[in-house]
Amino acid sequence: MNDDEILKHSKNILKLIDIDSPNIGEVSAVYQCIKSKTKNLQNNYFLRKKDLKQIIRETNIYNCDKIRLINDFKAIYLYIIEYEQKKYLFNCNKKLIGSLCDWVDEDDEVPDVFKKNNIVLHPDTNIPIIEVEITKKGTAFENIKEGIYREYEYDEELETFRNTQSIFLDN
């Protein structure tokens, strides 16, 4: 917001509180208040709005929660960094490998009895089953195949979940 817009808004605010002909002091006081508040809002926005690269740089990766992903009999540790309500997976060199989320059954593979709001739940614990997506770009940094990995898969013939033994949450 530029100075002319702030001045115009200052006069309009004063009119809202029944000051139709504000003097210079009144306009100046409202003007200064608006200017300082918008500046504070902009500063707070930039402080709050760190980009993912900056967060990665400032994060000690070994203090993050991690998962162990088993692929072709190889264990790979991936570290979880949450940013804007999404969980990203990084290797120990802070290279983006993929993402972690709850399993959302978009293809209707799992019966409704095992889902809540289309999120697949573990049949014993009722905790959402997690899935890991490894991106094509992420495969360049780790010897792992691109794709979706889940801690459980639904076996339609047996009508039950089977542990895939491919994702382990580590503390």
Whether residues 35 and 118 fall in one domain: no
Whether residues 40 and 78 fall in one domain: no
pLDDT confidence of residue 32: 78
The answer to whether position 129 is within a domain reads yes
- What distance in Å separates the CA atoms of residue 54 and residue 73, rounded to the nearest whole number? 34
Judge contact between 143 and 91, C-beta under 8 A: no
Whether residues 23 and 76 fall in one domain: no
Query: Which sign does the torsion angle of CA 37, 39, 40, 46 carry?
Result: positive
Whether residues 81 and 153 fall in one domain: yes
Judge contact between 163 and 152, C-beta under 8 A: yes
pLDDT confidence of residue 131: 94
Whether residues 109 and 153 fall in one domain: yes
pLDDT confidence of residue 140: 82
Whether residues 43 and 78 fall in one domain: no
pLDDT, block means (10 residues), the chain with 171 residues:
65 69 73 66 50 87 91 87 91 94 92 93 89 91 89 90 87 58
pLDDT confidence of residue 94: 93
Q: Which of 117, 107, 101, 109 is nearest to 150 (CA)?
A: 101
Question: Whole-model pTM?
Answer: 0.67
